[in-house]
Structure 1
C-alpha cells in the first residue's frame, strides 16, 4: 500500500477513484482521498518550478487541449504521478459535469479528468484567483495520505461569495467504492442480462445510512412486516414501495455490499407470505448500517421509502445527515501549493521522456507554503501530523505541508497558541470548520479546508494498531 520514494509507477486511477456521487443523489463536499503523499510531493507538475506557474496562467481546458495545449505541460504528463495529481486537481477545482481532457502524445490514449467539488469553476477556461488557488491547494492537501488508501471525507469550509458551496447533506448515501479494491461494489453496477433474484450482485441502488445500538435488534422494511413478527397482530408494516416489486439488502457500516459479503446483515424479497420486503438484523459493532434497494426483476423500475422501527431503541435512526455520518474532526489544511518559489524539490520530465527527481528525500515539507493544524480533540496531535501529511512519516520527510500544531487551544484561543481564529466559521453554522488560520510565519489564510472522518482510524480494513499514531479523541 505504501508508495516508496522510487520504483515503478502505478497506473493512474480512473474516474471511480475520485469518489463520484451516484447520479441520483448529488452530494455536497463529501469526497474521497487516495492520492498518495508521494505522488503529491514529487510529481512533474506541482513540484516543477517551470510547470507550476503555467498551470495557473490560464484555463485548464485550453492548457491541456490535445491539439493546441501547452507543449511543456503535455511533456510533464508523461509522469504518471502528474496524471494522478491532475485527476485530483480537476476534481477539486471544477464542478460535477465539467471535465478536462488530455491526449497522451505517445500512446494517443485519451484521459478525461472529471470535476466534482467545484472550488474554482473559473479555472476551467481562465486563470484562477488567489483565493481559488488557496482553496484548491487545501483540497489537494486534505485528500492525500501516505498509504494511498481510499478514505471517505467530509470537507468543510466557507466561501462568502457562495454560501451554499460547503453546505452539509441533510441525508447521506452509502459509500459505493470499496477501499480494498478501489473499485465500485459490483452490486451497484448495471445488470448486463435480466435477473430475478435477490442474490444477484448487480442492479442495486444505494438508499441511505442508519445508526443503531450494537447488539440490539433492528427492523426495517419497504412495505412489509419484519420476518420475526409475522404472527404478531400489533406488528407494524414498515415503509412502502411503488412501481415494480422491490427487494432490500442491509450492510454493515457505510459501505454497500454483495451477496455473501461479511458486511451483509440481511436481505429480503418478501416476508410473511407476501412479496413486500422487510429485514430483521442485529446491530453490528460499528453502530451503523446502510440499505440497498433493487427491483426483483432487473428490467423493471421501482422505488422504496424505507421505514425503520424505532421502538426498540431510541438510538435507532435512519437517513442520517452528513454531520452524523462524519462526526470525527481531523484538522485543517491551508496554503498555496502553486507557489513555485516555495518548492524544496524539483521533478521534471526531459525531452527524451526520462523523469528526473523521483529519488529525492526532503527533510520536512516539500511545499513550504502549505500547512496543516490538528483538531484539539486528538490526544497526540504532533505524532498524528507527521503521519497524515508526510510520505515518509517515520523520518518526517517528503511532507506535503508543515504542521503548525493545534488549530484551537481550548485554554488559550489567541494566536500563537491557537493557529486558527475560529473553530466554527459563520457561513455554515454548526459545521465545525476552522477558519482564519495562521501559518508558521504568522501569515493568516482565509481559505482553509477542515476534514471530518467517519471513524477515528479513518481507513476501513487497516488494523487498528496501524492507526495507533492517531492517538485517541479526548
Structure 2
C-alpha cells in the first residue's frame, strides 16, 4: 500500500472555461524524509517489527508527508479568523468552497496563500483518498481541488463535523506541521474502536520519492523520461521498490534475476524479473536517488555476462537502504521481484514494514483548532483584499486548545517541542500548541500527560491515549507520531535538542 499522492486535478467549469492556467497543489503521503539516524549508539532497538495485530483489532496507522509550515498553520485567514473558523467548522467543505456557489466570505479569505495551504492539509486529513473539494483561487481565477488522504472525518465533505471529527483532524493538522515546511514523512498512529479497518498498517513500505533537501521536489529519477533513453545511468523513468535494513559496513547482495557481481562463479541467482529487461539502483536510507546523488550506493543493468541485474554494495552507516527499478529501454515496461542474499549477514532484511521503518516515537498531538473562542489572535483578508495580521508575534500558542506532549525517549523534551510546534523556534512564540510535558512517565506516573502509553484497541503500536491538558480536560482523539530519523523535522538545531536515545 504505497500511500503516495502527487497527482493534481484541475476542474474546469463553464464560466471559467476561458481562464488560463491551472493551480497545482501537491499532497504527498507518507513515504518520509531521509537523513541519518543521529550519532552512533542512538539507534533504537527494533521493537514491534514482527508484532502481529490481535484478531479483531486494527491499527489505525497512517504514513503521510508533513510540510505545512507552522507559520501557515498559526497565522492564516481561515483557522486564525474566528468568523471563517466558525464557517468551516459548521458546514460541509464541498459546498462551502464550491467555485460557483461557495461562501463569498471564505472565498475572500482564500486570497491569503497560507489559507489555501491550510485548507489543502485540512481536506487531506479529513477526507478519504479519492475524494476532493473543488475551489477557485481568487488570486489566479483558476479552479483546482484539494485532495483527501487520511479519511479521519469523511462526513465533513458535505456536512458539519462532529466534535470527535474536529478533534481528530486538529491532531492531524498539528502533527503535520514543522517550522521550515520540510517534506518529511512520518507515521501517524491512533485508535478508534468504532471505525475498524480504516487505516491498516503497511506491511511493506515503499521508498520516498520526494527529497526535502531538494526543496521538497521529487527526485528527478522518479520523473518520466521526456525522450526515449536507455542504460542504467539515466536519471528518469525509475520507480520505487522497497526498503531494507542491513548491518553497517557489511556487504549486501540483491538482485532481480542476476547473480551478485562478486559471486559470478559460486553465487545463486537472486530474485526475478518479467517483461522488458530490467535494471536496479540502490540508495541509502529511505529516499530514492539519482545516479550521481549523495545517497547512491550502486546500480546494475546486467551482471556476470548476462542482462540480469544484481548489485553488491556496502551497508551504509544508517543501516537502511532502498531499491529502485527501471526498464533498460525507457519506452518499455517490466517488473522485478527483488531478493536479498540469505544467510549472512544475518541482520539483512528487505521489504520492511511501516513499523520497522518508523521506529522513533516523537509524541502525541491533541486538542481542537476549530474553537474560535480559543484563538489568541486574528488574521483576515479585508474587503480591499489586504491580508491583516500576518506580521504579529504571539507569545505562546495561537490555539489555546491545542496541546503537544513528548515521548519520554527524548533527551530534552521541552527544547525539542519548542522547535517542533513554534513558528519562531526556541522563542516560544507563534506556536501551534501548548507544550505540556512528557506524554508518559513510567517512573513518576503523576507527571504523565496521557493515561495510556499503549492504547487497548491494538497492543504494541505504542500510541498514547487519553491525554490531558493543563486544565485537566481529557482528550480522546490524540495522534501519536513516529519518525524515521530524530532531526528530520528540525534540521540545524543543536543536537542535544533532538537526541532520541530510546527508552529511559
Relative to the length of structure 2, the TM-score reads: 0.87
SS in 2 for 1:266: strand
The 10-residue stretch of structure 1 (248-257 or 108-117) with the greater mean CA deviation from structure 2: 108-117
Alpha-carbon deviation of 1:14? Answer: 4.6
**Contact residue 61 and residue 188 of structure 2 kept, 8 A:** no
CA distance in 2, matches of 1:163, 1:304: 33
Does 1:107 find its partner at 2:135?
no
Q: Residue 147 of structure 1 corresponds to which residue in structure 2?
A: 180
CA distance in 2, matches of 1:171, 1:264: 22
The 5 A counterparts of 1:33-182 are: 33-180=66-213, 181-182=215-216
Alpha-carbon deviation of 1:394? Answer: 2.5
SS in 2 for 1:310: coil
With over 3 angstroms needed to count, the CA separation of the structure-2 counterparts of 1:21 and 1:284, relative to structure 1, is closer
Q: Residue 441 of structure 1 corresponds to which residue in structure 2?
A: 471
The 5 A counterparts of 1:132-281 are: 132-180=165-213, 181-232=215-266, 235-281=267-313
Alpha-carbon deviation of 1:112? Answer: 1.8
Instruction: Give the one of 364, 367, 371 matched to 2:396.
Output: 364
Aligned length: 452
**Contact residue 166 and residue 428 of structure 1 kept, 8 A:** no
Q: Residue 488 of structure 2 corresponds to which residue in structure 1?
A: 458
Deviations 1:368-422 (A, max 9, x none): 0000101011121111121111111222111111111111111133xx4111111
Does 1:470 find its partner at 2:498?
yes
SS in 2 for 1:18: coil
SS in 2 for 1:50: helix
Q: Which runs of 5+ in 2 are unaligned?
A: 1-22, 33-59
With over 3 angstroms needed to count, the CA separation of the structure-2 counterparts of 1:425 and 1:166, relative to structure 1, is farther
**Contact residue 20 and residue 116 of structure 1 kept, 8 A:** no
Q: Residue 431 of structure 1 corresponds to which residue in structure 2?
A: 461
**Contact residue 16 and residue 183 of structure 1 kept, 8 A:** no
Instruction: Give the one of 419, 422, 425 matched to 1:390.
Output: 422
CA distance in 2, matches of 1:133, 1:274: 58
With over 3 angstroms needed to count, the CA separation of the structure-2 counterparts of 1:309 and 1:199, relative to structure 1, is same
Does 1:286 find its partner at 2:314?
no
**Contact residue 61 and residue 190 of structure 2 kept, 8 A:** no
Alpha-carbon deviation of 1:163? Answer: 2.0
**Contact residue 421 and residue 432 of structure 2 kept, 8 A:** yes
CA distance in 2, matches of 1:396, 1:14: 33
Q: Residue 4 of structure 1 corresponds to which residue in structure 2?
A: none
Q: Residue 410 of structure 1 corresponds to which residue in structure 2?
A: 442
Alpha-carbon deviation of 1:106? Answer: 4.6
**Contact residue 455 and residue 465 of structure 2 kept, 8 A:** yes
Deviations 1:82-132 (A, max 9, x none): 011111111111111111121123531223211111111111111111111
Instruction: Give the one of 331, 337, 358 matched to 2:369.
Output: 337
Relative to the length of structure 1, the TM-score reads: 0.92
Deviations 1:304-326 (A, max 9, x none): 11110132211100000101100
With over 3 angstroms needed to count, the CA separation of the structure-2 counterparts of 1:327 and 1:173, relative to structure 1, is same
CA distance in 1, matches of 2:356, 2:310: 25
CA distance in 1, matches of 2:273, 2:87: 54
SS in 2 for 1:329: strand
